[in-house]
Amino acid sequence: MILAQREYKLQDVIAFAKTDGKFGGLSNMAPGYNLFVNEINIQSSEILYQACRFPLFPHIQEELIRTQNPMDSKSVSRKYATLTRQDWDIVRFRIMRWCLEVKLIQNFPKFSELLLSTGDKPIVEYSTKDSLWGAIPQSKEILVGVNALGRLLMELRAKIQTGALIQASVIYPLDIPAFLLFNNKISEVHNDDYFIHDLDEIYAY
């Protein structure tokens, strides 16, 4: 991803800041978009993304997933920040794209409808402090930031619009070192995957 800042006119964009409201589901923090990866139930794309920071530390992944709360998972991540995978800055945008694709195919009717309802407008995560994943106000009318999340969401929207990603899709694991969940390689994700194991079961295997 190109990390160039962009400027957006607030009146021309679909901006989301919180998980409520018409476009709140675009946030990684939004409830109601459960994910299933390696048969593990993960409460939100934010928690999945944070779990991917710590592939060599299953106990951290467990703590993250057990929070069942994206903001709490960010606090857990901060606590263990020094254990973040060393190539995180290189791989994290690919990982976020993958998380969003998983969110889409496993919540296709709701999430695709939401994405398509944004039309062709720029999608922007409105933030007061994060100009990497979102864009921050420079004045009452102008937002400035890399808006990486908004750009990935627009990319996803385009894949739906062109039919490149449809409900029956499979999302393949990323070809990066140590793409692991609980010491297992992350496998293909399907739209009809479903929760089998709770966290107390996983260590029994």
- Residues 130-136: contacts with CB under 8 Å, at least 24 apart: 131/5, 132/3, 135/6, 135/8
Using CB under 6 A as the binding rule, whether residue 72 contacts ligand LIKH6CAM is answered as no
Quick note: the x/- pattern for ligand LIKH6CAM over 109-138, rule CB under 6 A, is: ----------------x----x--x-----
Using CB under 6 A as the binding rule, whether residue 155 contacts ligand LIKH6CAM is answered as no
Using CB under 6 A as the binding rule, whether residue 149 contacts ligand LIKH6CAM is answered as yes
Using CB under 6 A as the binding rule, whether residue 46 contacts ligand LIKH6CAM is answered as yes
Query: Closest CB to ligand LIKH6CAM among 33 and 202?
Result: 33
Using CB under 6 A as the binding rule, whether residue 101 contacts ligand LIKH6CAM is answered as no
CB 195 within 8 A of CB 36: yes
Using CB under 6 A as the criterion, which residues of the chain lie in contact with ligand LIKH6CAM when the complex forms?
28-29, 46, 77, 125, 130, 133, 149
